[in-house]
C-alpha cells in the first residue's frame, strides 16, 4: 500500500505580510494513520525540498498528539525536508493521494498543472483522491473523464466561510472555498465549525477542517482495504 501526500510550496499569506504553508496537524495525523497501518508514504511538493509549515500550526494551542509526535520524529522531519518534486512523481506507483491543507494550496496547488494532471490520472485509474480543510481547493480546476469539473454533482466538504471568518482571513484569501465549490456545482456539505466532518463520494474523500484530518485518513484506509 503506497500513499502519496502532496503539500504546498507556498509560504506567503496573500499581501498580509504573514507567512503560511501547510497546517502541521493536517499532515501529521494522516501521516501516522497511514504509517501505523503499514502503508508506505511518499511526500511531494511543487518545488521539492522543505515545504513551509504554517507558523500558527506550530503554536502551543495548535498541538495534538500527532504534531507532538511529528516534531520529535527525525525520520519524518527528514522526509519532509527532502520532499520529492511533483515532476519526479509517477501516479502509477501509488494506490491513493492525500492533500493536507493550510492556506498555501489556495495559491499554488489550485493551479499547478502537474498536481492537476496527477489528480486526474488517479481519478481515471479509479484510485482514491482525498483532501482536507483548504486542500479541496486542489480539486476546483481538475476535470473528470468527460471533461467536466471533477467536483460537479459530487459530495464534497472543505473549510467553511464561517471558519474563514473565524480566523479573520475572509478578505485575504484569493477565494472562499465553500463559495467556489458551490459555484462549480459541487454538492457541498458541512458540519459545525471546527468539528470533524468528512464526506465520502465514491473514490473522493474530503474533510472540512483540521479536526477532520485523521478521519479523512481513516476513510481512505477503509477504501483501500475494501
Tell me the three cell numbers of residue 108. 499554488
Report yes or no on whether pTM surpasses 0.75: yes
Q: Give the separation between CA 108 and CA 123, rounded to whole angstroms.
A: 20
Domain coordinates of the chain in residue numbers?
2-225
Q: Are 52 and 14 in contact (CB under 8 A)?
A: no
Q: May I ask the CATH architecture of the domain 2-225?
A: 3-Layer(aba) Sandwich (3.40)
pLDDT (tens digit per residue) in 6-16: 999 999 999 99
pLDDT score at 26: 98
Helix (H) or strand (E) holding 124: helix 113-124
Q: Are 56 and 89 in contact (CB under 8 A)?
A: no
Residue tagged 459555484 (cell numbers): 183
Q: What is the CA radius of gyration of the chain?
A: 16
Across the range 21-32, mean pLDDT stands at 98
pLDDT (tens digit per residue) in 103-120: 999 999 999 999 999 999
Q: Give the separation between CA 74 and CA 126, rounded to whole angstroms.
A: 34
Amino acid at each position: 500500500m503506497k500513499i502519496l501526500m502532496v503539500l504546498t510550496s507556498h509560504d506567503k499569506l496573500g499581501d498580509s505580510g504573514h507567512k503560511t504553508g501547510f497546517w502541521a496537524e493536517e499532515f501529521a495525523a494522516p501521516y501516522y494513520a497511514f504509517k501505523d497501518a503499514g502503508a508506505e508514504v511518499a511526500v511531494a511538493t511543487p518545488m521539492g525540498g522543505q515545504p513551509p509549515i504554517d507558523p500558527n500550526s506550530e503554536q502551543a494551542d495548535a498541538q495534538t498528539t500527532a504534531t507532538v509526535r511529528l516534531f520529535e520524529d527525525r525520520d519524518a522531519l527528514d522526509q519532509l525536508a527532502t520532499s520529492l518534486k511533483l515532476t519526479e512523481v509517477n501516479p502509477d506507483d501509488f494506490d491513493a493521494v492525500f492533500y493536507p491543507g493550510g492556506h498555501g494550496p489556495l495559491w499554488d496547488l489550485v493551479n499547478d498543472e502537474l498536481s492537476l494532471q496527477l489528480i486526474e490520472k488517479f481519478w481515471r485509474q479509479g484510485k482514491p483522491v482525498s483532501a482536507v480543510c483548504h486542500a479541496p481547493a486542489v480539486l476546483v480546476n481538475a476535470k473528470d473523464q468527460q471533461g467536466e469539473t471533477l467536483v460537479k454533482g459530487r459530495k464534497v466538504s472543505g473549510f467553511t466561510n464561517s471558519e474563514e471568518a473565524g480566523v479573520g482571513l475572509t478578505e485575504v484569501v484569493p477565494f472562499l472555498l465553500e463559495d467556489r465549490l458551490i459555484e462549480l456545482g459541487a454538492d457541498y456539505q458541512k458540519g459545525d465549525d471546527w468539528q470533524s466532518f468528512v464526506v465520502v463520494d465514491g473514490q473522493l474523500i474530503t474533510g472540512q477542517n483540521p479536526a477532520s484530518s485523521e478521519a479523512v485518513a481513516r476513510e481512505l484506509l477503509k477504501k483501500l482495504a475494501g
